[in-house]
Structure 1
Amino acid sequence: MDQTSESKPHHAHEMEVEHQAVFAEKTDLADYKADAIEAENVEHTMTVLGAVKAYPMASFWAFVISCTIIMESYDVFLMGNFVALPAFKNKYGVLDTATGQYVIVTKWQSALQVSGQLGALIGVFIAGPLTSRIGYRWATLTGLMLLNVFIFAFYFAESLPVIFVAQLLEGMPWGIFIANAPAYCSEIVPIKLRAPATQMLQMFWAIGSIVVGAVTYTYSNVNEPRAYKVPIALQWMFPTPLAILIFCAPESPWWLVRKGRLEQAARSVERLGRRSQVNAAESVAMMRRVIELEKSVKQPSHLELFKGTDLRRTLIVCGVYAAQNLTGNLIANQAVYFFEQAHISTNLAFALGLITSALQMIFVMLSWILTSYYGRRSIYLWGSAANCILLFALGIAASVGLSKSANLAQASLGLIVSVLFTLGPAPASWVIIGETSAIRLRPLTTGMGRATYYIVEIPCIFLASYMLNPKGGNLGGKCGYVWGGTALFCLIVAYFGLPEMKGRSYREIDIMFTRRIPARQWKKTDININDDE
């Protein structure tokens, strides 16, 4: 009897402590939810210019991390230009008896252009788990240091197989950069800056091609090894300066909140914005609210990407990435070689390639305005539709017979397709990729999406090289029929599956995916600021 009477108060005490803990947790939740609502309202009411003024360093660090894309772009366009560079063709090509000129055989032409992508495919699968574990900064720094080493292998290579292996090794750090950059950019800036911050990636892709175009154009008439050795060596310009800058960069506050490091997250927010205009505690509360919404007892895994509502998000990211290779992008990547096959002289082909890259950079900057004010879905769909029409027009121009007018028409349409791609579908893609994935799974989702890009790109490169090569399909501009057909398919899928996420917070995006709202209804759907599910 005594034991029972003693145990009851003890049990009652345990219950009381438990209730107090639950009450404290609810009180804490209520406290930070109020702060979270305030922070989200502030972001919604910001203008684009106001967001830049409030978060100037966030814009700067997004700019810095985007610079890593220059390196992949540089090398992708470098290999595309090398197959058209006389010194490189004379060293590694075979004599084409029909023309009396040296050409890189189709299998090696394709192999060299996919080697970096094969390495990057490995890199993106490494990037997700690595970034989830050590953060965006250290994962990117690891990639930069490895790239410094792998450039040596490329520079001293003296045969096509060694160049292939060197490119494959270089591709692994690219995979880390391309998986991390859009995710990091979208996490460190407020809602109104997500579009321009992630679209900078496409601008730096264009800058990489401009640098390559300028260098290879300079050496297009030099028939010595330095014509291709100097462009290879110039790759060392990028990794070390970028590593120094990224070492000084703040870690993504969203990543820190995911790890439960709230004080560090608050300091990171303070480094990204002006203290006079940014309330770090409220911003961290907003992040906690979203992360609690996505909370799971399981560790993030690739398998989770294909379950429940995350499957739809993964398919959107993978579909948008895959479509980049199916809507005329490969014409842009092989612009110089395409112009040569349209019977344009070598010098003019390199000049047109350089002009294409310069126009691409200008059009990417124009896309910042369009995507910020008109939305992602609209720009993506209208841009893709215009590309479809132009690609079919390219095929028609190549079908009317050989003449100077037909050749110039093909070259002009190839240039327009390449440039228009960077006004609509390409930059909008980066915004969609950065916004679609769940915060918890973001490094894994962006890695999986980019892996899809490479899986689609590799056979497409072989197909593109075969269609353009005189010893292959020799289609020239008739390849427009093929890419027009694939672009049309992508346009139809995007029309039914791509939602409009302009102006949406990550909380709203999570809720809309959870509620399974159809893609075409997103723009008309209102989400209450108090909703958590």
Structure 2
Amino acid sequence: MLNEFNTAVWTNGRSYLVTDNSTFQAFNKKFGSLTASGSYKIPASWQSALSNGARAGEVIGLLINGVASDRWGYRKTMVAALTAMMGFIFVLFFAPNVETLVVGEVLCGIPWGIFQTLAVSYASEVCPVVLRPYLTTYINMCWVFGQFVASGVNRGAVQRHDQWAYRIPFAVQWIWPLPILIGCLFAPESPWWHVRHGDHEGARRALKRLTSDNDPDFSIDNTIAMIEYTNELEKKLAAGTSYRDCFKGIDLRRTEIVCGVWIVQTLCGTNIMGYSSYFLVQAGLPTVHSFDLSMGQLGLGLLGTLGSWFLMPHFGRRTLHFTGVSILCIIMFIVGCLGFSHASSSKWAVGAMLIVFTFVYDFTVGPVAYSLVSEMSSTRLKSKTVVLARCCYNISNIVVNVLTNYQLSSSSWNWGVRAAYFWAGTAFICAVWEYFRLPEPKGRTYSELDMLFEQRVPARKFKSTKVDPFNADHQYAHPSEIMEDMSLDKLDIK
């Protein structure tokens, strides 16, 4: 939730600076310059730097995480990132000018980038298959909850006219790192990471902490053997551990899917979704109440994520994600049609449709993407594949932000609400891509997914194709035979 809260503080703050310059006049006076009209304003060039500075830092953090989590483990990487976060917030809080503020944004972006992908990879490796979709999609709920808290903080500071109007949101960011860091110190490392590094005793300790001693059906030895089996199977299928390996053989297809799923989040119209409050303000809603509306909108997002937990076991990830993108495409088309009306009621209708968009998005595309991203890559390349996907997401987000600003700005293209037609088109393209390229991983173990990709099964047939990764066509025996052949000494289990 830390990254989501920090991002939302800036997102909310910047969006309302655009819609109502008096809202954060203390911020403008501190970091802006005096204009001919007698008001203070941050130059457009520095607004762009503030918007994209954190994105640049996140890309750096993502690339660092891909190497650091593989080498030192998820837990140590997270602890280091949280420690750095606490230090970098000082730069934001005490920034004397806009230049220092941009530097602080870039520095804070580095641990934010680490948070973005580390949680997905870790969550997918420490839970059983049946719980994997719930724990990974819970990350989306943390995103929404962080934005919800940030909206509340901004709502509380919006009517202040002193320096604390912007210092309070900065200072609140210090609340999160320390308790999270303490929790991480007591969290077990991923048993998969231990096995990949040949530390079977470490994997055994981690599994003992992750499971209950009262479960008679659970065997630590069998689980370690299965993890090692999958690891060896992926090595057999030529899955290395470098970024270059993400673009080789069957892993190229897996990288495409993981990157595509996250890029869909930016191309289905989500940037327009954040402007529901803006259109309602244009319709006559007071600016201060738009904060209340945004909190209600995020509340619907929380309910949507909860709803996805009930739908995924019945419909699967592919069906839910594809259906969600298709519905979002229709909503964008309707919003575009409303743009031809100049009545105040049409702006209320646009705002209402975008709130519905938020609910549908957080019911389907938002949370389900996290589950798909964690399941589609091989376990040996998971951290690096997820890093590449998130880099694609951030880069596409920068492009989408620029396009949206041009589309909605009255001094540029001035498309207004009709910009939704453009995003309806991109959402349609995303839906077509998903129909032909997005597989269904529901109920599949990582070894089964490995074999489905090796056999180049079409995405639409993943759900119906039966596969046995332990059959005689491969060099590996059935798990029961593995346990007979692998002595405790070979497993390094005492």
Query: Does the alignment reach a TM-score above 0.5?
Result: yes
Closer/same/farther in 2, CA of residues 320 and 101 from structure 1, 3 Å limit = farther
Distance in 1, matches of 2:311 and 2:34, equals: 48
Alignment of 1:173-212 (within 5 A): 173-212=111-150
- Residue number among 185, 195, 202 corresponding to 1:247 in the alignment: 185
- Residue number among 189, 202, 227 corresponding to 1:287 in the alignment: 227
1:489 aligned to 2:429? yes
The answer (yes or no) to whether the contact 1:196–1:372 under 8 Å persists in 2 is no
1:87 aligned to 2:50? no
Paired amino acid for 2:105: Q
Offset at 1:166?
1.1
Equivalent position of 2:175 in the other structure? 237
Closer/same/farther in 2, CA of residues 280 and 332 from structure 1, 3 Å limit = farther
Paired amino acid for 2:320: I
Closer/same/farther in 2, CA of residues 68 and 209 from structure 1, 3 Å limit = closer
The answer (yes or no) to whether the contact 2:73–2:193 under 8 Å persists in 1 is yes
Alignment of 1:385-396 (within 5 A): 385-396=326-337
Closer/same/farther in 2, CA of residues 355 and 104 from structure 1, 3 Å limit = farther
Equivalent position of 2:199 in the other structure? 261
Alignment of 1:20-169 (within 5 A): 69-84=4-19, 86-88=23-25, 90-91=28-29, 92=31, 106-169=44-107
Alignment of 1:409-428 (within 5 A): 409-428=349-368
Structure showing greater Rg: 1
The answer (yes or no) to whether the contact 2:283–2:344 under 8 Å persists in 1 is no
Write the deviation string for residues 423-447 of structure 1: whole angstroms up to 9, x where unpaired: 1111110000000110011111111
Equivalent position of 2:247 in the other structure? 306
Closer/same/farther in 2, CA of residues 294 and 321 from structure 1, 3 Å limit = same
1:327 aligned to 2:268? yes
Distance in 1, matches of 2:271 and 2:128, equals: 33
Closer/same/farther in 2, CA of residues 386 and 116 from structure 1, 3 Å limit = same
Closer/same/farther in 2, CA of residues 323 and 466 from structure 1, 3 Å limit = same
> RMSD value over aligned CA atoms?
2.4
- Residue number among 370, 373, 390 corresponding to 1:430 in the alignment: 370
Distance in 1, matches of 2:251 and 2:188, equals: 28
Closer/same/farther in 2, CA of residues 298 and 287 from structure 1, 3 Å limit = closer
Paired amino acid for 2:205: R
Distance in 2, matches of 1:243 and 1:70, equals: 16
Paired amino acid for 1:87: F
Write the deviation string for residues 297-325 of structure 1: whole angstroms up to 9, x where unpaired: 88611111001000000000111111111
The answer (yes or no) to whether the contact 1:384–1:491 under 8 Å persists in 2 is yes
- Residue number among 424, 427, 442 corresponding to 2:382 in the alignment: 442
SS of the residue 1:371 aligns to: helix
- Residue number among 450, 475, 478 corresponding to 2:415 in the alignment: 475
SS of the residue 1:375 aligns to: helix
The answer (yes or no) to whether the contact 1:121–1:454 under 8 Å persists in 2 is yes
Paired amino acid for 2:301: Q
1:370 aligned to 2:307? no
1:350 aligned to 2:287? no
Closer/same/farther in 2, CA of residues 123 and 151 from structure 1, 3 Å limit = same
The answer (yes or no) to whether the contact 2:56–2:106 under 8 Å persists in 1 is yes
Distance in 2, matches of 1:384 and 1:139, equals: 34
Distance in 1, matches of 2:329 and 2:346, equals: 19
Closer/same/farther in 2, CA of residues 272 and 76 from structure 1, 3 Å limit = farther
The answer (yes or no) to whether the contact 1:106–1:466 under 8 Å persists in 2 is no
Distance in 2, matches of 1:362 and 1:103, equals: 38
TM-score, structure 1 as length reference:
0.82
Equivalent position of 2:212 in the other structure? 274
Distance in 1, matches of 2:35 and 2:167, equals: 24
Distance in 2, matches of 1:185 and 1:513, equals: 22
Moved more, 439-448 or 271-280: 271-280
Closer/same/farther in 2, CA of residues 515 and 171 from structure 1, 3 Å limit = same
The answer (yes or no) to whether the contact 2:5–2:150 under 8 Å persists in 1 is no
Paired amino acid for 1:466: Y
SS of the residue 1:324 aligns to: helix
Distance in 2, matches of 1:449 and 1:226, equals: 37
Offset at 1:522?
0.6
1:505 aligned to 2:445? yes
Equivalent position of 2:483 in the other structure? none
The answer (yes or no) to whether the contact 2:9–2:154 under 8 Å persists in 1 is no
The answer (yes or no) to whether the contact 1:124–1:451 under 8 Å persists in 2 is yes
Paired amino acid for 1:113: S
The answer (yes or no) to whether the contact 1:82–1:228 under 8 Å persists in 2 is no
Offset at 1:472?
3.8
Write the deviation string for residues 317-351 of structure 1: whole angstroms up to 9, x where unpaired: 11111111111222345554565456643123222
SS of the residue 1:525 aligns to: coil
Write the deviation string for residues 175-222 of structure 1: whole angstroms up to 9, x where unpaired: 111111111101111111111100111101101111111111222222
Closer/same/farther in 2, CA of residues 420 and 102 from structure 1, 3 Å limit = farther
Distance in 2, matches of 1:197 and 1:454, equals: 23
The answer (yes or no) to whether the contact 1:80–1:113 under 8 Å persists in 2 is no
Paired amino acid for 1:349: S
Write the deviation string for residues 68-104 of structure 1: whole angstroms up to 9, x where unpaired: 6544455444544554461246435679999x98765
Distance in 1, matches of 2:358 and 2:318, equals: 20
Give unmatched runs, 5+ long, in structure 2.
Answer: 475-494
Paired amino acid for 1:195: P
Write the deviation string for residues 241-288 of structure 1: whole angstroms up to 9, x where unpaired: 101101110001111111111111112111111122132111111111
SS of the residue 2:241 aligns to: coil
SS of the residue 2:467 aligns to: coil
Give unmatched runs, 5+ long, in structure 1.
Answer: 1-65
Paired amino acid for 2:176: F
The answer (yes or no) to whether the contact 2:277–2:351 under 8 Å persists in 1 is no
Offset at 1:476?
3.4
Paired amino acid for 2:119: A
Between the aligned residues of both structures, percent identity stands at 34
The answer (yes or no) to whether the contact 1:206–1:360 under 8 Å persists in 2 is yes
